[in-house]
Each structure stands twice: as C-alpha cells, then as structure tokens.
Amino acid sequence: MYSERMDQPTDHGEGPPPGSFNPMSRIEFERLFGGRVLAWIGGLATLLGLVFLMRSAVDSSWFTEEVRALLAAVGSLLLLGSGVWLHERKRHLELGRLLVAVTIPGLYATTVVATQTYDLISPVLGLEAAALIGLAGVAIAVRWSSMLVGSVGILGALAAPIFVGTASEGGSIAFVAVALAAGVGVLLWQRWDWLALGAFAVSVPQLVAWIGASGFISLEGEADPSQPVPLVLAVLVGFWVLYAAAAFGYELRSRGKEGLPVSSWLLLLCSSVFVVGAGAVVIGADSALALDAWVFGFAAAHLLLGGAAIRFGVHREIGSLLTGGGIGLAAFGVANAFDGPTVVAVWAAVAVALAYLSTRVDASPTPTLSDASRLLLAACGFLGLALAHVLIVEAPPTAIAEGVADLGSSLVAIASCAIAALACWHFGRRVDRRVATAAGFVGAIGFVYLGSVLIIDAIGADEAGDAREIGQAWLSAFWAAMGLGAVIVGMARRSVNVRLGGLALLALVIGKVWTYDLAELEELPRALSFVALGLLLLVSAFAYQRFKPEKGEETDVREPQASV
C-alpha cells in the first residue's frame, strides 16, 4: 500500500524535486525539432540559396545588373509578405517571424549590392532605403512583440551607413543618431534590455570612424581636424544621453519599483568609458586644462544626476550607479591632473567617503544590502588603487632595505592608505564583516609599514642608499614590539583577530632574526636583534600565561550597538 501510494502522481501542481532529472517527452521533442529547428534551418537555407543564386547569376551574366537587383528586391518582398501573411492570417507565428527575420537581411543585402557593387542608386538613396527597411522591421516587431525581428530591424537600420559605405561622412552620423533615438524609444517601450547593448556595439564603430575621418586620429603624425572640437564633444555627449536613456528609461518609468538589470549597468559603464576616452582623444594631451575640465565635467554630471535620483526618490539603484561612476571619474581625473601623494590621498578619501555612504544606504527607509555592499566594494577598490600607487611609486617593498627617495611624500601616502583602511573597517563592520576585517588588517599593516620605512630611512640607510645594519636591528625590535602590542590589545578587547595578527607579526620577526639578521648583520646589530626579540617574546609568553580567555570566545571586535 505504501509503495503503491508513493508511485501515484499528484495533482497538486508540484514539479519534480530539486536536482531531479526531467527528460523531455517525445511530443515536446517533436514540437521543438519539427516546429522550430526545422523552420530555422529551412529559413537559413532559403536565404543562403538566394545568395548563391544571385552569385551564380552574376558569375554567369544571366541578367543585367538592373534585373538582378530588381529580382532580388522582388523576391525578398514576396518572402516578407509571405511571412506577414502566415503570421497574421494563418497564425503560423514561429514560421512567420522566421521568414520576416531572414528576409529583412536580404533586403539590406539588396540595397548594399545596388549601392556599393552596381552603383545603381546613390549612397544617399541607399541610406534612405535602408532606413525604410529598418522602419518596416521595427513596426512589425512592435506589433508582434518579437525581439528577434526587432533586433534585425533596429540593428540593421543603425548599420545602414556601413552597408552603403557612408559611415565616415558627417551626414551619416546624424542618421545614426536619429536611428538610435528611434530605436531607444522602441527598446524602452518593449523593454528589450540586451538589445540596447547591441545598439551600442553597432553605433560606436561608426562614431570612431567619423572621429577618425574628421582628422582627430592620425597614425602618420600630427592630426589635422576638419571639425571643431566643441562640435565633436557635443556629438559625444548627445550619444551618451541616448545610451543613458536606453539603460535607464524603463526603470525611470517604474519609479524604482523594479531592480536594475545587468545590461543597464554594463551599458552605462561602457558608454561612459567610451565617451570620456573619445573626448580625451579629441581634446588631445596638449590641452591639459581642457582635458581636466572634460573629465571633471563628466564626473560632475554623473554626481548631479545620481544625487537627484536619490534625493527625489526617482530610483535608488540608478542613483547609486551614477554616483559611483561620478566618483570614479573624479578620482581618475585627479590622477590625471596631479601626481605623487596627492593622488593617493584623494583616492584614500574617496574610499572613506564610499565606505561612509554604504552605512547611509542601510539607514534609508528601504534598506538594500546589495547597494551597501556595492559601495563598500567600490571603497575597497579605490583603497586598492591607492595601495598599488604607494607600493609602486612612493614606497616600494625595497624601502624596508634601502629607504625611499622622498621620506615626507612616502609617509603621507602610507598614512593616507592606513587611515583609509581603518575607516573602511570602522564603517564596513555594519555592512560586511569579512570585508571590514580584511580592511582592518590592511590598516594595521599600513601603520607597521609606515614605521618600518621611517626607521630604515632615518637610521637604516646612508646617503648612498646602502642599508645600515643597525637599522635592521631596530626594524626587528620594532616589529616584535608591534606584535606584542597587538597581542596585548587583543587580550584586553577579547579579539581573536587582533591577537592572531600580533602572533603573525611575531612569527615574521622570528623568521627575519633567525635568517637574515643571523646571516647578514655584524656582531653588535645581531646581538641587539636577538636580545630585543628574546625579551619581547618572554613578555608575550608571560602575558599569554596570565591571560584567561572566556569560554566560547571566538568573535572579533564587538559590533557597535547603536544604529546608524
């Protein structure tokens, strides 16, 4: 009775258990293969057959050029009409959409051949014909709500200047702008998010071709622009507005009720990077002030739009994305405008600001943990940039052996990173404990590194940059004292992580003294290293003997009880 009951199917609408294999039934397979796969193969075969037939007709000179183009156009239009008839009258939806989707490229190809190969019509007329084809495809796509047909129509219309060979002309870029604006309207209406990325990918090469044809890109020497710089920058800004509208338009209509799709994030990121980079190429490296104004102006636009989106409750994710993009552009603008510890200090300040903003997101009436996590990760990203700049430029790892070129700049840069890391730890505890713990360790290491550089540069290196052995002895003593201090602080605050960090530093200095100091230092510095290490280790052992951890103690520094 039990097994018989278990084998009976239920009628409660429950699917198979998670992880179980649910093979496709024979009927479903026949419908998929016979209704869709065969239709796709047949449609593509028909399109390729027409292409091969036209090629054979050209090679054999069966007809004149005018007759060939006319036959191709008539045949494509008949197939287009057949697809519409099958879809509208006979309700063969899949077959009708497929015929239309493979016929529109045929019409584009006919236009290209008539314009580029046979010179039967002018490029301007060919561009207009391609626009009509794209318009017809978009109209059909909207009526049928078919993204397949819409992608062929919209992307084909955007690529029309490439088809007819006018991509680098001034009028064609205006055509692309109009086609993009019309396509954005359709994309927002139908919410074809990923198709917006396709529109970006098709339009950007034409923008690059137009900028190159205008004389701003030259591989042979000095560029000779034929267009005024303000006009080109205005065109770039206009295209960025269209890209931003494609990315955010639908979400702005929903007033924050729906989440932001990944395609919107990618589109804004790619479009902002492209427009800022293209503008920098147009302005040129010789105009440093104009280049800084361009970057900072774009950053200010992002910040203003993002702040308005958050302040007026338009859409929280859009506001966060625009604000983060503005902060990033401003940070890289600072890197372009300044150098040295100033760049590090600004990047560190940005990291602190983002970490603080992550706590404000959680304090909002509708908290979104993902927003706070993104801001905290962005803060860690800027902190990483600052640290990389310090370790490459201001104080590379060789500084603890040879000193640095400019002690003041190095100390400012290291201190900026260490303070920023501790600020990220302080604010990040309320968002992501693991990320905050990592930032805390980075901050502690930063202060130890700062003291190490100061010791080596002040007393551990001579004027020629050679390491003084007495400096290495002091460095060993400093590391041991910092490790002991961390152990004692960890005991006092009942923090496992702080104690483990102190023990790790003590282990490091033990390895240094018993390897480098023992082999490389002279008698007196070596003796000082061992004496200092031995005394501090004895104090550490005594402290551990007196320390009595509480039962079940395994937490980090206690979380603050007050709300943000």
- pLDDT digits 0-9 by tens, 408-442: 889 999 999 999 999 999 998 888 888 888 999 99
In a domain, residue 452? The reply is: yes
CA separation for the pair 490, 498 (Å, rounded): 5
Q: What is the pLDDT of residue 376?
A: 84
pTM for the model: 0.61
Please give the structure tokens belonging to residue 204: 């950007």
14: phi then psi, degrees, rounded to nearest 5: -85, 135
What's the helix, strand, coil split of the chain in %, to 5?
80, 0, 20
278, 406: one domain: no
Which ranges of 16-159 would DSSP assign to H, the alpha helix? 26-32, 38-60, 65-88, 93-112, 123-144, 147-158
In a domain, residue 293? The reply is: no
Domain count of the fold of the chain? 4
> Are 107 and 133 spatial neighbours (Cβ–Cβ below 8 Å)?
yes
In a domain, residue 15? The reply is: no
Residues ≥6 apart with Cβ < 8 Å to 219? none
In a domain, residue 41? The reply is: yes
88 burial level (CB within 10 Å; 0-12, 13-18, 19+)? middle
Residues facing residue 467 across a β-bridge: 461
Q: What is the pLDDT of residue 46?
A: 61
257, 199: one domain: yes
416, 495: one domain: no
Q: What is the pLDDT of residue 13?
A: 42
H helices then E strands: how many in the chain? 23, 0
In a domain, residue 130? The reply is: yes
Residues in the chain predicted with pLDDT less than 70, given as ranges, are 1-63, 65, 92, 94-95, 116-118, 163-171, 217-226, 250-260, 285-286, 313-314, 361-371, 460-468, 548-564
Q: What is the pLDDT of residue 174?
A: 79
pLDDT of 136-166, one tens digit each? 877 887 788 777 777 877 787 787 777 666 6
Tell me which residue range forms the domain holding 542: 468-548
In a domain, residue 18? The reply is: no
502, 446: one domain: no
Q: What is the pLDDT of residue 169?
A: 64
